[in-house]
A and B are shown apart, each in its own frame.
Chain A
Amino acid sequence: MSQTAKYPPEVNTLYERLKREAEAGGYTLNPDKEFTLSLVQGLIDNEKRFGYMACPCRLAYGEKDKDIDIICPCYYRDQDLEEFGACYCCLYVNEDWTSGRKPHKSIPDRRPPEFVLSGFSEPAASIETTGTSKSIGPLPYPVWRCKVCGYLAARNEPPGVCPVCKAKKDRFERFI
């Protein structure tokens, strides 16, 4: 049986989409397709349970505000890619990992352990939509920062979807 045949079509569809988006944004999905498909199945299970794709390898709290840091791609992904060549779940990997320069092992979670019980503790909603264009000091526009990948956008409101990592609007913070 082929790897893909074991999973329902929705898993394969999401896999293809994530792969496309990853590559367009300069990221790489784990080439171990069997492993990756099982994580994509986990993302779909979580989406059905919670309404958002909580990280498959972390215990979600079950409320969006409290899980906002671990909605995939999580706030920890890019740092983990830098340090370990893979994100915590190993859904995303980089050259260091595929080439074997970094070991193919599970890595420590950089999410603070107290979040496991109480969820994300950062003050909620750093995004307030400005409505009208406000001038901040000499800047004609506020600057929004994607908390997943660091993409910056100077405009009245954060982008609906991050053009680099596809994180949604609610995962931007006001940067300047």
Chain B
Amino acid sequence: MNFTHVPGTNNKHKVTLYALSTCGWCRKTKELLDSQNVEYDYIYVDQCQGEERTRATAAVRELNPRGSFPTLKIDDEVVAGFDEERILELLA
């Protein structure tokens, strides 16, 4: 899958974000990661096509059976939806 890498000084955790380019909560999640200088990879699933889209949606549903966005993976933890407190806790 074609993830976009965002470099950051906070690279203690492996952070992967599945997002939609049009979604307000996905945007807030990205902004939160950026404000914390977190290193992460993200993919806009709505911009994927064909095979890649199938793989991306399968990956999301494996992490978050509801298949909703944003789906954020921090190490082995999954945060579905924008949950600022939980995200900050996991990044600490």
Contacts and interface: CB of A to CB of B under 8 A. Distances in A.
Interface string A63-98: 000000000000000000000000001110000000
A56 B67 contact: no
Contacts of B22: 39, 41-43, 45-46, 56-57
Interface residues of A, number: 24
B23 A57 contact: yes
A21 B20 CA distance: 26
B40 interface: no
A59 interface: yes
Given A59-B69, A105-B83, A113-B67, A90 B23 contact: no
Contacts of A105: 81-83
Contacts of B69: 57-59
Interface string B19-44: 01111111110000000000000000
A12 interface: no
Contacts of B26: 57
A74 to B, nearest CB: 13
B46 interface: yes
A113 B66 contact: yes
Contacts of A60: 46
A138 B57 CA distance: 50
Interface of A: 35, 38-39, 41-43, 45-46, 56-60, 89-91, 105-109, 113, 116-117
Interface of B: 20-28, 45-46, 57, 61, 65-69, 81-83
A107 B83 CA distance: 10
B81 A42 contact: no
Given A59-B20, A60-B46, A106 B66 contact: no
A106 B45 contact: no
B67 A38 contact: no
Contacts of A107: 81
A108 to B, nearest CB: 7
Contacts of A35: 24, 28
B25 A59 contact: no
Contacts of A116: 57, 61, 67-68
A56 B44 CA distance: 12
Nearest to B81: A106
